[in-house]
Structure 1
Amino acid sequence: MVDRIASLNRVASVPLPADSAIVRAYPLVSFADAYSIALPAEASNDPERLARFIFSQHSPWAAALMKLRDALVAGFGLKTAGSLANDAASRTERVGMFKIYSVAPNEIVMGEDDKHLDFRLSLLCPAAQDERRLILSTVVHCHNLLGRTYIRLIAPFHRIIVRSSLRRAALAGWPKA
């Protein structure tokens, strides 16, 4: 039983899924990663519902890192979580601070465009698989030196936060189908 619970909380680095819409998001990708976690049989496989669940489960340390990030980048004129939250009150459909770009039966694509870089996140529930999984992928296209420097600095934190967010959602108990 303990091994089964541990396996349901295990987050694995995987290649970008070939069937994900974000594989074709940009002609030039500056950064990409993907992480997979098992979904229990009773969990929802609705990617938008899963995205809303995952991004509503912020750990205090991740929220503190976002506040620090916002304080550091505001001086460069970059979008902050606060400015995106204010945009959430507009007509733009969002999951947390992420703008929704597309929703399909097995994938939601979110992200943001800014002057230094554009990024897309995908939550994909692959259809053809023996074991039910959720894959969270990110691709980034940098526009300039500021974007390339920014992604080099935040990439290690991004990886930790993504893995932690998936584990945290699994431990909280995925929404039911």
Structure 2
Amino acid sequence: MPRVFKLITSVPIPSRSGLTHLYTSMHLADAFAIRLPPGTSRSPELLARFILSHRPAWVGWLIKVRDTVVACLGLKTAKHLGSLANRIGVFNVYSTNPTEILLGEDDKHLDFRISVLCTEAPEGSNQLVFSTVVHCHNAIGRAYIFIISPFHRLIVKASLLRAARVGWPLAIVPKDNQTGEVK
């Protein structure tokens, strides 16, 4: 594994994630954790938007290649998905709570969900866990996931690393309206 990815660790899908019991069978399940520096926002929605908007440039090229291929198979393209409502990038928002947002898509070949979960790391710092689960419906879905899974893992790690290098969004500290002091 390249040295630059040492900030990112492969972890089990957190037991408190909404992904844990989502599908009876999973054809891909992975999770990657990265520590968040002090003062970083713990809003899963804000962090998901930040990660997905700061992905490396080469990911855009891979998505164009993917869209060219899947359009021939009658599957949804990123351009189509990005034009729909209730989205973060190309991903549908399924649920959100103060610690986790679930994104994903259902299609005829597979369903998948992504979790962006903010947790406390074992040593007391905050961490973000980016998890993905995929359930395939047919041979096209299984073939698709077989081909893209190595790219998926590289994209997730590279996107987390890029977000860390750009600088995570800061937490908004509430102020007292009367005095202007930080609460």
Could you tell me the TM-score, scaled by structure 1's length? Answer: 0.91
Distance in 1, Cα, partners of 2:163 & 2:121: 23
Instruction: State whether residues 82 and 91 of structure 2, in contact with CA within 8 Å, keep that contact through their aligned partners in structure 1.
Output: no
Distance in 2, Cα, partners of 1:52 & 1:9: 23
Distance in 1, Cα, partners of 2:159 & 2:121: 25
SS in 2 for 1:54: helix
2:129 alignment counterpart: 135
Uncovered stretches (5+) of structure 2, i.e. residues with no partner: 172-183
SS in 1 for 2:83: helix
1:150 aligned residue (144, 149, 152)? 144
Alignment of 1:66-85 (within 5 A): 66-85=63-82
1:172–1:9 distance in 2 versus 1, CA, 3 Å: farther
Is structure 2 residue 18 aligned with structure 1 residue 21?
A: yes
Distance in 2, Cα, partners of 1:109 & 1:118: 13
Per-residue Cα deviation, 1:47-84 (whole angstroms, up to 9, x for no partner):
00000000001221110000000001111011110110
Larger Rg: 2
Per-residue Cα deviation, 1:73-131 (whole angstroms, up to 9, x for no partner):
111011110110121xxxx3111110000001100000000000000000001257412
Q: Which AA in structure 2 matches 1:124?
A: L
Instruction: State whether residues 55 and 158 of structure 2, in contact with CA within 8 Å, keep that contact through their aligned partners in structure 1.
Output: no
SS in 2 for 1:37: strand
Instruction: State whether residues 5 and 157 of structure 2, in contact with CA within 8 Å, keep that contact through their aligned partners in structure 1.
Output: no
1:120 alignment counterpart: 113
Distance in 1, Cα, partners of 2:37 & 2:4: 10
1:3 alignment counterpart: none
Distance in 2, Cα, partners of 1:115 & 1:152: 17
Uncovered stretches (5+) of structure 1, i.e. residues with no partner: 1-5
Q: Which AA in structure 1 matches 2:168?
A: W
Greater mean deviation of Cα atoms: 98-107 or 123-132: 123-132
Instruction: State whether residues 9 and 37 of structure 1, in contact with CA within 8 Å, keep that contact through their aligned partners in structure 2.
Output: no
2:165 aligned residue (167, 171, 174)? 171
Instruction: State whether residues 9 and 167 of structure 1, in contact with CA within 8 Å, keep that contact through their aligned partners in structure 2.
Output: no
Deviation at 1:21, TM superposition (A): 0.2
Identity of aligned residues (%): 51
Could you tell me the TM-score, scaled by structure 2's length? Answer: 0.88
1:7–1:45 distance in 2 versus 1, CA, 3 Å: farther
Greater mean deviation of Cα atoms: 51-60 or 138-147: 51-60
Distance in 2, Cα, partners of 1:60 & 1:94: 21
* Between structures 1 and 2, the one with greater helix share: 1
2:59 alignment counterpart: 62
Distance in 2, Cα, partners of 1:172 & 1:8: 15
SS in 2 for 1:156: helix
1:144–1:106 distance in 2 versus 1, CA, 3 Å: same
2:98 alignment counterpart: 105
